[in-house]
Amino acid sequence: MNIHKTAIVHPKAQIEENVTIGPYCIVGEHVIIHSGTILEAQVFLDGWTEIGRDCHIFPFATLGTVPQDLKFQGEKSELKIGQGTVIREGVTAHRGTSGGGGITTIGDGCLLMAYAHVAHDCHVGNHVILANGIAMAGHVTIEDHASVGGLTAIHQFTRIGRYAYVGGASAVSKDVPPYGMAAGNRTKLYGVNSIGLQRKGFSQEAIENIKKAYRLLLSSHLNVSQAIARIEAEIDSPEVRYLVDFIKNSDRGICK
């Protein structure tokens, strides 16, 4: 371990080999940091927080502090961050609450840009990009490979589907379906994130199936239930089945 002499690390914190802790960092009693992770200067880690292997955390990030939830009564709750995730300057991520499952999670290979906020009981999937200044309310779910533009506000209990793209300065108050491209205050759905899907290696056939489903959803003058029935009858692919399941399981409804 490489721990700077000015860092304050609780003797009961679990620090694995090859961890670097820079100047003036503070690491609390219940924190676990796995091998290869780097804490730059003045990082604050508190509570029951676990940081996976090979993460890189930049100055003034504050992770694992108590949630901003008036119902929180000091109960044990967790923040868990996967491996290979980069957390830039000033990012905040809070622990969960007993009413929301008791844990906040951030997956593998994510990039959280400066001043992004991950609230209590949120679940951020793998390979997610959150741009500068994003504000997530509690209980938000962002699925794998989604990207969210800077200065976006996300309403509590909202979901953003896998491979979706949300433009900057948006206000997300309803679910954004997988593979979609949404923006605005409140967010509207503008079509398929085609470029993103191509970059992620989706086949042309898969992209065309998704586009056909979106045309039925957005451009057919059908309501959501009617569009889903048509999609299920006309298109059979794993990507589209996932899209249909996501919409069927939406509690807040989807943006359109």
21 and 121: one domain?
A: yes
Q: Which residue has the tokens 């949404």?
A: 182
- Decide which of 117, 139, 161 is a domain's last residue: 139
- Decide which of 139, 162, 184 is a domain's last residue: 139
Number of domains in the chain: 2
| Per-residue pLDDT tens over the stretch 48-64 | 999 999 999 999 999 99
Query: Which candidate in 28, 100, 138, 161 is catalytic?
Result: 138
170 in any annotated domain: no
Query: Which candidate in 54, 108, 121, 175 is catalytic?
Result: 121
Q: What is the DSSP string of 59-105?
A: TT-EEEEPPS-TT--S---EEEE-TT-EE-TT-EEE---GGGTSEEE
Q: Report d(CA 7, CA 22) in Å as an integer.
A: 7
End-to-end C-alpha distance for the chain, whole angstroms: 51
Instruction: Extract the tokens encoding 235.
Output: 């298109």
93 and 214: one domain?
A: no
Q: Report d(CA 107, CA 79) in Å as an integer.
A: 11
182 in any annotated domain: no
CATH number of the domain residue 231 falls in? 1.20.1180.10
| Per-residue pLDDT tens over the stretch 219-241 | 888 999 999 999 999 999 999 99
CATH number of the domain residue 118 falls in? 2.160.10.10
| Per-residue pLDDT tens over the stretch 88-99 | 999 999 999 999
10 and 131: one domain?
A: yes
The SS3 call for residue 153 is strand
Q: Which domain holds residue 45?
A: 2-139
162 in any annotated domain: no
Dihedral of the CA atoms 31, 34, 37, 39 (nearest 10)?
10
Q: Is 69 a catalytic residue?
A: no
151 in any annotated domain: no
Q: Is 127 a catalytic residue?
A: no
6 and 107: one domain?
A: yes
**Is the per-residue pLDDT at 33 higher than 80?**
yes
204 and 115: one domain?
A: no
Q: Is 175 a catalytic residue?
A: no
